[in-house]
Amino acid sequence: MKKVVFILGPTAVGKSYFGILLAKKFGGEIISADSVQVYKGLDVGSAKQLDTHGVTHHCIDILSPFDEFSAYDFVELTKKKIDEISNRGHLPIVVGGTGLYIKALTLGYNFGGAKKDENLRKNLEEILNSDGLDKLVKMLEEKDKDVADKIDKKNPVRVLRALEIALSNGQKSQSESDIQPLVIALFKDRAKLYVDINRRVDEMVADGLFQEVENLKKMGLTKENQSMRAIGYKETLDYLDGLTDRERCIELIKQHTRNYAKRQITFLKGMDCEFIDAENREIALEKIEKMVGEFLNGRVENN
């Protein structure tokens, strides 16, 4: 069993900060579990960790923004990276907020066990275009209510893929995971977290979010692309297309990010995690370092 530390939590809670410090202390390498940071060119809006502070990072800037990336892709890639990092005698530290990815990895779910059936995908896309996303959600709820209850029902890519798998396999497949996880979930007082989220969005705008999205749009990217449906990018595309004004665009990004953080928190509450209050970083770091040290020495298990 390979020991793996997971640093999870809602957006803007400080995951990257703790991940880097832990990697430095325990000889770790970081695997990003962020569904947007995998894309090249999506830097500002994804709060990508461009300064790695000398720590090796994986699963960042690995795909074209025209590509798709599923939970299955993440699990397969991350398992490979965990093997490579462990074989080097280093500690794999998975950092991110995409809960579905983490659950798929830690529980051994094979969300993409079925090969993509192009005819099935085409038929589902036709239903999406003719009857709307609600129709696909209803089909998924009838076929696999457990998955339907957990995924983002407003994300057509995830609904399509989940339904595709459900219709191909009948149900999720699950195999025993070969990793021993320590799952640490960071949290903050909800009001303080929302203040941090609003501030982060303002910083993104100041750092060039609109210019970044404009450049991606010039490349031919639209909301038809999975990468452009991410929070911050879809709202900015609407602004650039004249569908909303600048002030409303910024407010929508904040609102949608806060809503996403709330969903992340709810998802984490349904997982087996060690919850750490990240408001006081010094105290939180001390607790996390103690927990990780005991985990590596075999005195703490979190499965």
Question: Does an H or E element contain 19, and which?
Answer: helix 15-26
Rounded CA separation 144/197 (Å): 33
pLDDT tens for each residue of the chain, 303 residues long: 899 999 999 999 999 999 999 999 999 999 999 989 999 999 999 999 888 899 999 999 999 999 988 777 888 899 999 999 999 999 999 999 777 778 778 776 555 444 556 667 777 887 887 778 888 888 888 888 877 887 778 888 888 888 877 776 544 445 556 889 999 999 999 999 999 999 999 999 999 999 999 999 999 999 999 999 999 999 999 999 999 999 999 999 999 999 999 989 988 888 889 999 999 999 999 999 999 999 999 855 554
Question: Does an H or E element contain 275, and which?
Answer: strand 274-277
In DSSP terms, 186 is beta-bridged to 276
Q: pLDDT at position 40, please?
A: 97
The strands making up 179-187's β-sheet, listed across from edge to edge, are 57-58, 28-33, 91-96, 2-8, 179-187, 274-277
Q: Is the whole-model pTM more than 0.85?
A: no
SS3 (DSSP) at 72 = helix
In DSSP terms, 95 is beta-bridged to 7, 32
The CATH fold of domain 190-260: Helix Hairpins (1.10.287)
In the chain, where are the structural domains located?
A: 112-171, 190-260
Rounded CA separation 5/135 (Å): 39
Class of 112-171 per CATH? mainly alpha
In DSSP terms, 173 is beta-bridged to 110
Rounded CA separation 210/232 (Å): 9
Q: pLDDT at position 44, please?
A: 97
Tell how far CA 187 is from the center of its chain: 16
Q: pLDDT at position 168, please?
A: 65
Residue pair 36/42 in contact by the 8 Å Cβ criterion: yes
